[in-house]
Amino acid sequence: MRKVDRRQMQTVRKVLRYIRRYWFYLGLSLILAAVTVAFTLYFPLLTGDAVDCIVGAGAVDFPGIFMVLQKMALVIAVTALAQWVMNICNNKMTYQIVRDIRNEAFQKLEILPLKFIDGHPQGEIVSRVIADVDQFADGLLMGFTQLFTGVITILGTLCFMLSVHAGITLVVLLVTPISLFVASFIAKRTFTMFKLQSETRGEQTALIDEMVGNQKVVQAFRQEENALDRFDEINSRLQKCSLKAIFFSSITNPATRFVNSLVYTGVGITGALAAISGSLSVGQLASFLSYANQYTKPFNEISGVVTELQNAIACAGRVFDLIEETPQIPDAADAAVLSDVQGRVELENVSFSYLPNQKLIEHFNLRVAPGQRVAIVGPTGCGKTTVINLLMRFYDVTAGAIRVEGTDIRGMTRKSLRAGYGMVLQETWLRAGTIRDNIAIGKPDATDEEIVAAAKACHAHSFIMRLPQGYDTVIGEDGGSLSQGQKQLLCITRIMLRRPPMLILDEATSSIDTRTELKIQNAFAQLMEGRTSFIVAHRLSTIRTADTILVMKDGRIIEQGSHDTLLAAGGFYADLYNSQYSY
């Protein structure tokens, strides 16, 4: 079996596991489909009976026709009701399955390791959870509504035709394999094209998301033409694979219609000969021709359904790939809960790299006493932010160990570890909501007085009060129209409100003006009093008061000491400092 075929079968089996949860709707839908088909196929027999009631001019059996019309009205009413309820069942089943898949996909995003998020464009992940699931839903719904009834219609029609005339039914059966061969031939080629289309669409969504989210940067560096070229290239590939997918899917219906015309022609010729010989009445011939139409119609529908299902399966495969990604290593059952944090942190012989063949941090050792302020400086890419990621256990060390209060952080719950830190990064994060809600994220039970006091301590109160509704002003995702400095002040206020036992400040004041920064440094000095603090900074003036300054280069600590000691040593730190402040 080809690799593509195996992948399809695996995806189908996964879909069936979701369908099994809603067996009641599935069973009821199948029963109603059978009822619908049975009454639909019974209708041509009534038509034939009505035709046979018309013997000739002046010899019409009106009472018989009236009885047949009554039966027809009843059949139409029951069929319409069954189809309506069947569609309700199919819709409920489809969208509950889609809801379950989206829930699982989103839940998996919450527990995926950070390296997966870092290694995949955000737009591509969004495309899987939104666009691909929508495509899957469309194909699945069409499958439920048309595939069931189509298959049952074909089988039921054959049974009815056999009951009328076996010879003509044999003609129909001999032509049928041609239609099945055509549908199978096309279906195998559409899956590959639809899979490629789905992947390219995800790539395009990722580019659009990146360009829209960073439009200021694009314009500032005059990269509009470059962005357009990249978009045109992806769009061109999407056009080509979409055209191929649509081409193969569009020839399905005409091809099966041609085969169906052969069936109808065969029934018409053999039926006419049978009627001439007297083995078939005119009414039965009319019924047979109607059955020939009903028999061939599902092949057209099923061929269309197969095409949609190919697209649905391709999209579902991408979503299942996300759901089945290896999650981050869960907390051990006996994991310790970090409590009564004093701030004692040790890094013992720590090694780490994002890629196996690219070494970053090697044999890193550090001991931090409670209440100590540790600054980390060095050139871009030396591993400063990586150390922060390891402390917070966003990534696990490759070798060595990190201990907090003497316990390896891999042996404690992530929740309790991260609750021990307060973190302010260069990149701000704000959610849609009020200013008050954004400040109180880390302490939801904070009073208004506590929130205002924290904002005043960070010098954010004045700009907040200038907003239209003050602390009740609603801002959009990522801060809306607030300036970068205002966003950073709000993030600092969060930490000031929560006052955690340990602090991580990664370029925490990079977007704030110098005057405000001096005031915030005083507030930070009070906040850091008695708290273990890790400070990453490029502006070396902000770390003069640190107890220990670690100078990193190429993942190693090359110098260590206080500001005055390192300046007096005249080494790498002194060169960095003098490059910023010597004129």
Q: Is the CB of residue 546 less than 8 Å from the CB of residue 375?
A: yes
Q: Are residues 12 and 147 in the same domain?
A: yes
Task: List Cβ neighbours of 414 (8 Å cut-off, separation of 6 or more).
Answer: 331, 393
Q: Are residues 278 and 390 in the same domain?
A: no
- The tens digit of pLDDT for each residue in 216-228 reads 777 777 788 888 8
Q: Are residues 379 and 489 in the same domain?
A: yes
Q: Are residues 349 and 319 in the same domain?
A: no
Question: In the 8-state DSSP scheme, what is residue 391?
Answer: H
State which of 292, 323, 354 marks the end of a domain: 323
Q: What is the pLDDT of residue 3?
A: 56
Tell me the residue ranges of DSSP E strands in 46-187: none
Q: State the average pLDDT over residues 126-132.
A: 82
- The tens digit of pLDDT for each residue in 340-349 reads 888 889 989 8
Give the number of domains in the chain: 2
Q: Is the CB of residue 285 less than 8 Å from the CB of residue 277?
A: no
In whole angstroms, give the CA distance from residue 316 to residue 312: 6
Q: Is the CB of residue 477 less than 8 Å from the CB of residue 432?
A: yes
Q: State the average pLDDT over residues 148-171.
A: 76
> What are the start-end ranges of the H helices in 54-121?
62-111, 114-119
Q: Are residues 416 and 357 in the same domain?
A: yes
Q: Are residues 142 and 41 in the same domain?
A: yes
Q: Is residue 403 part of a domain?
A: yes
Q: Is the CB of residue 458 less than 8 Å from the CB of residue 523?
A: yes
Tokens for 280? 């078939």
Q: Is residue 335 part of a domain?
A: no
User: Is residue 442 packed enough to be buried (19+ CB in 10 Å), middle (13-18) or exposed (0-12)?
Assistant: middle
User: Is residue 394 packed enough to be buried (19+ CB in 10 Å), middle (13-18) or exposed (0-12)?
Assistant: middle
- The tens digit of pLDDT for each residue in 171-206 reads 777 777 776 677 667 666 676 777 788 778 878 887
In whole angstroms, give the CA distance from residue 105 to residue 125: 10
In whole angstroms, give the CA distance from residue 136 to residue 130: 10
Least confident among 73-82, 163-172, 313-322 = 163-172
In whole angstroms, give the CA distance from residue 95 to residue 97: 5
Interhelix angle 3-20/62-111, rounded to 10 degrees, is: 100
Q: In what order do the strands lie in the sheet with 373-377?
A: 421-424, 502-506, 532-536, 373-377, 548-553, 556-561
Q: Is the CB of residue 43 less than 8 Å from the CB of residue 96?
A: no
Note the maximum CA span of the chain. Answer: 124
Q: Which helix (H) or strand (E) holds 399?
A: strand 399-404
Closest CA to 176 of 203, 190, 158, 195: 158
State which of 289, 323, 357 marks the end of a domain: 323
State which of 256, 289, 323 marks the end of a domain: 323
Residue with tokens 């942190």: 345
In whole angstroms, give the CA distance from residue 380 to residue 368: 24
Question: In the 8-state DSSP scheme, what is residue 458?
Answer: T
Average pLDDT, the chain: 80
In whole angstroms, give the CA distance from residue 460 to residue 179: 73
Tell me the residue ranges of DSSP E strands in 212-282: none
Q: Is residue 562 part of a domain?
A: yes
In whole angstroms, give the CA distance from residue 472 to residue 466: 12
- The tens digit of pLDDT for each residue in 433-491 reads 889 998 888 888 889 999 999 888 888 888 899 988 999 988 877 777 788 778 888 88
Q: Is residue 333 part of a domain?
A: no
> 407 has which bridge partners?
404
| N-terminal to C-terminal alpha carbon distance within the chain | 73
Q: Note down the domain range covering 200.
A: 3-323
In whole angstroms, give the CA distance from residue 206 to residue 238: 14
Q: Is residue 339 part of a domain?
A: no
Q: Look up the pTM and report it.
A: 0.64
Tokens for 440? 């109180």
Closest CA to 290 of 253, 256, 264: 264
Helix/strand/coil for 422: strand
- The tens digit of pLDDT for each residue in 519-575 reads 677 777 777 788 888 888 777 766 777 888 888 887 778 888 888 888 888 888 888
Q: What is the pLDDT of residue 548?
A: 87
Q: Are residues 270 and 366 in the same domain?
A: no
CATH number at residue 58: 1.20.1560.10
Q: State the average pLDDT over residues 226-239.
A: 88
> 544 has which bridge partners?
none
> Phi and psi (nearest 5°) for 350?
-80, 130
Closest CA to 552 of 396, 364, 350: 364
Q: Is the CB of residue 38 less than 8 Å from the CB of residue 344?
A: no
In whole angstroms, give the CA distance from residue 47 to residue 41: 11
In whole angstroms, give the CA distance from residue 583 to residue 578: 9
Q: Is the CB of residue 295 less than 8 Å from the CB of residue 162?
A: no
- The tens digit of pLDDT for each residue in 61-107 reads 777 778 888 888 888 898 899 889 988 888 888 888 888 888 888 88
Q: Are residues 303 and 209 in the same domain?
A: yes
Task: List Cβ neighbours of 2 (8 Å cut-off, separation of 6 or more).
Answer: none
Helix/strand/coil for 360: coil
Q: Is residue 338 part of a domain?
A: no
Q: Are residues 448 and 363 in the same domain?
A: yes
Closest CA to 326 of 126, 120, 116: 116
Q: What is the pLDDT of residue 212?
A: 76
In whole angstroms, give the CA distance from residue 388 to residue 423: 10
Residue type, 438: N
Q: Is residue 337 part of a domain?
A: no
Task: List Cβ neighbours of 193 (8 Å cut-off, separation of 6 or more).
Answer: 241, 244, 245, 248
In whole angstroms, give the CA distance from residue 144 to residue 453: 60
DSSP state letters, 170-216: HHHHHHHHHHHHHHHHHHHHHHHHHHHHHHHHHHHHHHHHHHHHTHH
Q: What is the pLDDT of residue 403?
A: 92
Q: What is the pLDDT of residue 1?
A: 47
Q: Is the CB of residue 190 less than 8 Å from the CB of residue 246?
A: no
Q: Is residue 328 part of a domain?
A: no
Q: Are residues 569 and 522 in the same domain?
A: yes
Q: Are residues 364 and 510 in the same domain?
A: yes
In whole angstroms, give the CA distance from residue 305 to residue 186: 12
CATH number at residue 385: 3.40.50.300
Q: Are residues 285 and 137 in the same domain?
A: yes
Closest CA to 194 of 320, 95, 309, 321: 309
